Structure 1
Amino acid sequence: MGASTEPGGSSRSDKEWERFLRESAAGAADAPKEPSARAREVAKRLREEPDRGPEVWRSYTPAQPKRHKVWYVIGLVASLVVLALVILAPGRVADPFASEQSGSAPLAAETARPTQGPAEETAQRPTKEEPFRGSPAASWANGAAGITVPEAQAVGWMGTAEVERALASSRDFLVASSLDRTVLRGEHPAKAIALINPHQKDVRELLETAFQTPNEKNDPLLLFSRFQPSRTQLVGDVVKTRGQLTYREGERGALQVTADVTFVYPVTRANAGGDDEIVRTIVRRELVLSWDDPAKVITKPGTFSVISYKYHVTNGGCDPSKGYLAPPFGKDHRSDETGMKIDPYDRSAPVGGGDSSGDGCGKATRS
């Protein structure tokens, strides 16, 4: 018999074909069976469709591994950048939250008197959420953090450790007299007074009368910042500060400490509504304190004598007989342009002296 040709083009001999037919008739196990109609239909569909790989029902695809290495490198680089900022400009990262209100980077700590005032800020109205907005104080430190304390060295009758304690106590006085919330609300500054030498006669007389019958001579504002709670309330929990302590040897070997610090208090009317005006009262104080040798001066251990006190206030009222800072609201703002104009944020010149009486009351060029 001639060779038959299969669909694929291959040919089989007559002998092989006869064997195939016998095995198929006998039902050989490996004999090919004719596919069913369903099988032929499935085979035809598979030939016509593109190859998509095997389809698996309820298949499980393992999650892709996380790219830990990439994030590790990013985190490492960010950490190195922060470390470099801390090393090169520690003051600019000391108070990271201060810049959230203003968008300004926090200033480095003041270690010397600046040569000029801060640059003009974009005029923006303060709000209860951002009471320092539009003010140079927005980039100042909060509270005691804005008062720079120098490194201690032995001076006069004091060793290094004693000077360090005296500097810390001097800053404690500034905190207790001008930052303590109870004192700012008009309460008696007992903690601050406890640091003043009780044997200093003139200061003792001031303290005995200032809180009962305040006047220009015996004015509690000469040493303490306080607001009348029935009239004024502080906005938020932050008072901005900028300044420093310096020291040298004084008379009879005493440690003489000079404090020059500006305090910025955001305030509004007492019981004000949500849209009431916010005013920033700005007080700059210069205090000279003497930590005397008890062998040469009558003093109580752990206290200082007050050599001098100067301060200048803007947006705080001009009447020393009240004994409270009196921020002007609304129509109370002074419109007198003849008074001395002053930039309350300019710390490049010494404090002029006195509080604000007469022409010295002045007018702030900005607040």
Structure 2
Amino acid sequence: MKEVLLDIEQIRKDFPILHRKVNGQPLVYLDNAATSQTPQQVIDAITDYYSRYNANIHRGVHSLSQEATDAYEQARRKIQGHFNAAHPEEIIFTSGTTHAINLVAQGFTTFLSPGDEIWVSALEHHSNIVPWQMLCERSGAKLRVIPMNENGELELDVFKSNVGPQTKLVFVNHVSNALGTINPIEAIIETAHAVGAAVLVDGAQAAPHIVADFQALDVDFYTVSAHKMCGPTGVGVLYGKKDWLEKLPPYQGGGEMIATVSFEETTYAGLPHKFEAGTPNICGGIAFGAALDYLHGIGMQAIQEYEEELLQYATEKLLAIPGLKIYGEAPEKTSVISFNLEGIHPYDVGTLLDQMGIAVRTGHHCAQPIMDFYKIPGTVRASFCFYNTQEEVDRLTAGIDKARQMLS
């Protein structure tokens, strides 16, 4: 590895959970693609909200309500700035990426007709497959798939040669949660826009590692979950171009998303409130802003470079283990290694690693079509964050080798 520019030991002190033991062993947390851990600075922001200014937002003239509203809207502007959205009202708070995807899928129901086509990629999480299948059932549109190859890369030639005027929507993840592949979303967006199709990018796995510039990408929709970015669970955002968000109908009806209500007629509020019915996760939104502050304090470029080095080190170490096969060997990857040991079920490996205090994910990772492509029941997935260390990789490697010897 190159010289580390981050003070990892100092960073690790910010995360209380990293100092606990699991099954009598110091915790090695390598399930960051599912949920990253939360620094004390974000925990403090949550405590501060509930301790000092817990109140509903946008509706009260009293001081607590105004303080909460200001903090919540400031978080929206932080997210806008982080991703370079053109307007703060293009940032819609949701409960997470799944909620955001369903919001768009529901909204497009009235825009599609039988014979229209929707494209998704073979590398998608279930949350970027099932809502579009449901949309096709409602509208009569046809779902098509960008295929993948053995390296875990998309076969863009198939996509480029088959899109046309019938293509209305394209949905693809920026990074595969199961394999770590970084998809060429720039080329996908350009191809889709050339035939007049809109593009939604699932950025849940990319956002912790790569800063997407929404205006430079010219993406129509982009989704993010806070809990993968050192923030809390239960909050995320949908970015949408203002023109698209104004055309889409509301996803839910209720308070906050209205301008006027009578028993004869209701008119809807403008953006972003049109899509934010009910009392939102106020604390979650504020804490998401605190998480972005924390990440910026470290530096996203430094985080990306360190994680790339850690991925390279871990890949070399794991490939030296007899009988270990890595799935997803695209040249462009984030810090995910999905693997199996020959002749051993991934669940058994994960269980033994847990007994050693090493947290990994096993199964199909909500990406069953990928596992079907490789004709396997699932994989063991080790996913790294900037607070992980080379020593933890060494413990993982030793643990896998021990599991191999015990289970062979």
Q: TM-score per shorter chain, which class?
A: under 0.3
Larger Rg: 1
What is the TM-score of this pair, normalised by structure 2? 0.20
Higher relative contact order (CA 8 A, sep 6+): 2
What is the TM-score of this pair, normalised by structure 1? 0.21
